[in-house]
Amino acid sequence: MKRRFAAFGAVLLAVAASVLLFVRPADAAVGLHISGRNIVEANGQTFVMRGVNHPHVWFTSQTRAFADIKALGANTVRVVLGSGKRWGPSTDVGQVISLCKQNRLICVLEVHDTTGYGEEGAAASLDEAVDYWISQKSALVGQENFVVINIGNEPIGNTNAGQWTAATTSAIARMRGNGFQHLLMVDAPNWGQDWQYVMRDNAQTILDADTQRNTVLSIHMYAVFNTAASITDYLDRFRSNGWPLVIGEFGWRFNSGEVDHDTILSEANARGLGYLGWSWSGNTDPILDMATSFDPNQLTTWGERIFNGANGIRATARQATVYDSVTPGPTTPPVTPTTTRPVTPTATPTGGSRACTATYAVTGQWTGGFQGDVRVTAGGSAVSGWTVTWTFADGQRVSQAWNATVTSSGSNVTARNVSYNGNLAAGASTTFGFLGSWNGTNSAPTVSCTAN
């Protein structure tokens, strides 16, 4: 999102939409995929994104944001990453995915360096964005149920916006040629706002370029979309052609002539379209912050509107069904949290050549309660499953857990992998988390890890 919100004015000339035949995309083999106009899960259940953007690459320490966004009702978070061309590089993709999964959020990952390419001299090309995704492939493969890859944020500016079609089809082809099976998301040109209608008029070409028929188009709605008519006309073109679309970014009408957020929210809800508002916190122009200083207890006018207002996130979001079999993680922020106090004893590996290690940490603590994370890492060989055990010495108790099946017998705790995180390549890691209670002392136990 380039921080620009001035209306383009009368110089914008409407371009007639191309009349294109719609070809129903075939379902992808795994994970989130496209069926007709809809995003569906692997089980065929329709999934409608309801969430916000989080500027992770600029605020990597604000990992608590994932839990806070979930606690306010979101089912999706779009995470800003950097390829290293302008920001980053973001080499913590695995940790970001783990945070999404711990908090039962669908993770839309985007490379921000492409913003405004062709007009912004420092921007990365879509081809460079694909290079980044290939470099992070090991963290992404196997996460198709939970992750959408947004190839590049707003990848073309207002200079030669027509180059977007060839650049986007090439990027999609390279992603598929390199084995990515994820649902792909592609942003419009014109800083995401498509006011020259390049994406609208070439939508079928883009969708046909995907051999897996598993791409969703994304429009960013700011000052160009400042009337109900401009919003409904654009959305109508996609609906009439049967093209899958999400509203990947949008702001709010803080001044006359700005984006008509009320119409965006109501139309998205009526049409079953996903939306992801910009943004959680950290904007240089704080008018777009939803939470002041990343504090969920200090929602701004925009934050209250999108989370708690009509057609907002809390009223319309439905959690992805892939998480139905996962023991829930925290759904509300802990009361009066203290400073994070990491505790990291490491397990002695067991299991011979299929060894694993585990590291225990307290990631948040408050009166009577705490949140813990355990990171499991495979040894020199791949593992097909793992079990972590420990004994609490101070009467602590686990109350709920996620990303592992956790059972307790008195002070003894056993955590076993769930279906999607048992297979780890040599040296690869996964993380599970839990909420617990304590009274008086919360010392860290020694953990043991056994691999299958």
Active site residues: 154, 249
Separation CA 144–CA 137 (nearest Å): 12
What is each CA distance from 119 to 158, 159, 170, 175, 329, in whole angstroms? 6, 5, 20, 25, 43
Residue 13's contacts (CB-CB under 8 Å, 6 or more residues apart) are: none
Single-letter residue type at 38:
N
298 vs 303: CA distance, rounded Å: 9
The DSSP 8-state label assigned to residue 409 in this structure reads E
| DSSP summary character for residue 174 | H
Question: Angle 367-370-371 (CA atoms, 0-180°, nearest 5)?
Answer: 155
Instruction: Round to whole Å and give the CA distance between 364 and 203.
Output: 46
What is the C-alpha to C-alpha distance for residues 411 and 402, in angstroms, rounded to an integer? 19
292: Cβ contacts below 8 Å, ≥ 6 apart: 281, 286, 298, 299, 300
Contact yes or no for 377/358 (Cβ under 8 A): yes
Q: How many residues does the chain have?
A: 452
CA-CA distance, 57 to 79, in Å (whole number)?
8
Number of other CB atoms surrounding residue 106 within 10 Å: 28
What is the Cα 279 distance to its own chain's centre?
13
Cα 330 from Cα 434, distance rounded (Å): 8
Return the DSSP state at 285.
Answer: S
Contact 250, 24 (CB under 8 A): no
125 DSSP 8-state letter: P
Do 190 and 13 contact (CB within 8 A), yes or no? no
The rounded distance, in Å, linking the Cα atoms of 147 and 69 is 17
Write out the two tokens for 27.
Answer: 């379902």
Q: Where are the beta strands (DSSP E) in 353-396?
A: 356-366, 369-378, 386-391
